Structure 1
Amino acid sequence: MRLVSKNPVVTADNRHVIRRTNPVSLSDFTGKRREATRPIEFRGDNFDRDFDSNTLFYDAVQVSNSKVALFAPPFFNLARDVAATTFISGAGTCKARIRHLDRHAQLWLDIPENAGPVQALGELGSFAFSVSPNVSEMFRDCRVIFTMSKDNPIEWILDWVRFNRDIHGADAVLIYDNGSSAYDSATLSAALRSIAGIRCSVVMEWPFKYGPQGANSWDHWDSDFCQLGAWEHARWRFLQHARSAMNSDIDELVLSNIGKSVFEAAEQSWTGLVRYRGRWIIGIDDDLRDDHGGPHRHADFSIFMPPKYQFSRLVTRRDANACLPKWTVVPSRCPTHAQWHVHSIFSWWASYFCTKDFSFRHFREIGSNWKYQRTNRVPFDPLIHKQDRALVQAFQRVDWEN
């Protein structure tokens, strides 16, 4: 048996902190591994390298005074052994209630606070782990922007925070850092602390494999566990008491068409959820300023990608250049059975609808091309390329220096 326990927090002050997980890896106590379900003929050259076969669970969190939740990749071939595992703590012995979600699994245990480390015994093997504290009080009544990031230039991250602060009233930040090597967590946390008007921030170290992507927009989305695990973890460890929370990537900025912030709209909505679509902003040869001496920034780009209409699988006409939706939610009003997903909230009827009151801009040039090459520029054509006036006006309202 090996007790997996890591220092859960590094802090510069009590408002801007770095958090770590208490994960369990299969290699710590057994020779068994998670086996992929994707047929071999549909696996790319790097599938085995990118697939997370070893993480049993990411973190164990005290989600309430009497319950602990373990957030995990799907168990697949390990499911029967996990279901038969017994968990022992200072409060006694219990079995887990298992939730099987999309590319994600959870174990819920009846364990009160301060019960100490938990030992697991079963056919899978014997292991022990510590429980991470619930940090939801830190974000109580905050309007939180949360994201996952890896090696994004800090300038991009700070501009993303400033925009959401000045346009939408965001006052708290939660960043899941997926193993950045360009800087450490302390550097990122210090940079977030320097931004005026941000009440608190957490850099959550999340050093797990992101996982192989699907073959296209529809097929073989079965092995990218990392972000879906992070979003459910964020919901239960950090955001239970947030006033509202916006799911947004660093290369995405939300615009309002109704003169109110997206947080305000979610809070005033009778469902507690606002979901909205996006449009690409591209770089073109005559649309680039090189006067800031650093990486290109969001405010350097304001040209729409032109629409590309085609028929979908359901034989409906759609814009193939449109972006999949994102969302902002009041966490306390989200059903407990629902799953926080990247582009929607699964198993909640309110998430089937999108509003036209908001839309987001997805910046092709604010990215590292980690997923595919997307920064090839084209010459400006006034018959095709139009400036996004609403975006430019929003840029003018942002204090980019503080």
Structure 2
Amino acid sequence: MTDFATLTLDGSGLERQPRVKESFWEDDYLERFDARTLWLDAVWRDGVVRLICPRLNNLAPALRGARFALDGRAVRARFRTYDRHTVISLPSARCPAAVSVEVGGWRGESAVHGPEAGFAGRNVLVTLSKDNDPAWIEDWVRFHMIHHGADAVLFVDNGSAEYGRTAVQAALEASGVPVARVLSTSVPYGPRGRKPYANSELFLQFCVLNAVRHRFLWDARAVLNCDLDELVMSEGSIFDRAAASRFGYLAFPGYWVHPEPGFEGVPFHAAHGWRDDPAQACPDKWCMVPSGPLRGFEWRQHRLERLPFPTWFRAKDAWFWHCRNITNGWKLLKRTKVRDNTVPDGRLQEAVAVLPQRPG
């Protein structure tokens, strides 16, 4: 099941090819690579239909010569290519029912989504997840409700086999968050390559973030982008601080944290009371006002796309703890092993004490 207006290239004779050279592929690179998705979602807002596509790569010349139409009326397309996604913009005074594309002898069509209400004025957590334990979901939401006043969650499930929509919805309800929406897509997350191209063709997360910001989140008070293994801390609510900031945007660094050495069993957030010494940093995350001064920048996992002078926007008294063992092992199996060379962190332990000590 999908909740996005996704169009694939099935039947077109076309397929996306990797830009990353084969010498940098892992063994399952092509198996995980998204060769078939033309666009993840089609979203109309403020006079423009935006087709949010995985980066077109070799498909760009064919699509630039294609015929696009809205409800059968031909329109001129404008293309903008970003690091891991492409946005095709089509002008339209109203929200059309359908968008189509013709290239060669093939024609594809999808529905178009307009703006959807439900998150206006809310402090929203947004994340993309696959087969994560419902208890982790519940604890992650509760932490950000307690420490930051989160009052809404937009949760995108990437084709979970074990913990699907029903389990996710139940976890969100158990957390007590006032507003929750679960979406689903089976579009491939993407392959991991070898350095320096480890993440170069992980298209899905960037597509999801930019689809939901236009469709669901434009009128949110503030949006916090973080994963289920990340717990944000700040001097005051991160949502309040983003909303009050000059540019409506705050970035902040992360630090790896761990369960106590010798911990056995299934880990949980409250068990992560230990850190590396010295601290080991990881890339920034962010919180922002979607319709604020930086509304013209595309969303990425760790920053805004092409935002100049990014360090200007980094808060000195906000950070997130990256819980190393909150993982189902899809990235690195070594993350499921508890590290021994760590030290207790009193502030961290106090922060996670608001969460239940679940059995291992």
> Which TM-score applies when normalising by structure 2?
0.92
Q: Distance in 1 between matches of 2:224 and 2:109?
A: 35
Shift of 1:97: 1.1
**Residue 378 and residue 90 in structure 1: after superposition, are their counterparts in 2 closer, same or farther (change >3 A)?**
closer
1:235-264 Cα distance to aligned partner (Å, 9 max, x none)? 1111101100001110000112x2x11111
Q: Which whole-Å CA distance do the structure 1 matches of 2:91 and 2:315 have between them?
A: 39
2:14 is the counterpart of 1:32: yes
Q: 1:168 to 1:125 in 2, by over 3 A?
A: same
Cα pair 2:24 2:193 within 8 Å, conserved: no
Counterpart CA distance in 2 for 1:169 and 1:350 is 29
Q: Is 1:83 the equivalent of 2:83?
A: no
Aligned to 1:273: 249
Alpha-carbon separation, structure 2, partners of 1:147 and 1:226: 12
Give the deviation of 1:336 after TM superposition.
4.1
- Matched with 1:253 is 231
Q: Is the 8 A contact 1:283 1:375 kept in 2?
A: no
Alignment match, 1:15: none
- In structure 1, how many angstroms separate the alpha carbons of the residues matched to 2:181 and 2:97? 24
Unaligned runs of 5+ in 1: 1-5, 7-18, 308-318
Larger radius of gyration, structure 1 or 2? Answer: 1
Partner residue of 1:305 out of 276, 290, 294:
276
Describe how 1:1-400 pairs up with structure 2 within 5 A: 20-27=3-10, 29-64=11-46, 66-90=47-71, 92-123=73-104, 125-135=106-116, 137-196=117-176, 198-216=177-195, 218-219=196-197, 221-256=199-234, 258=235, 260-286=236-262, 295-307=266-278, 321-349=280-308, 351-353=310-312, 354-372=314-332, 373-379=334-340, 385-397=342-354
- The answer to whether the 8 A contact 1:35-1:76 is kept is yes
User: Structure 1 residues 235-244 or 124-133, which shifts more?
Assistant: 124-133
Q: Counterpart of 1:31 in structure 2: which amino acid?
A: G
Give 1:145 shift.
0.6
**2:153–2:179 contact (8 Å) kept in structure 1:** yes
Deviation at 1:220, TM superposition (A): 5.3
Q: Label 1:337 to 1:124 Cα distance change in 2 as closer, same or farther (>3 A).
A: farther
What is the number of equivalent residue pairs in this alignment?
Answer: 356
User: Runs of 4 or more off by more than 6 Å in structure 1?
Assistant: none
Task: Please tell me the root mean square deviation across aligned C-alpha atoms, in Å.
Answer: 2.2
Moved more, 335-344 or 177-186: 335-344
Contact 1:85 1:95 in 2 (8 A): no
| Aligned AA (1:389) | G
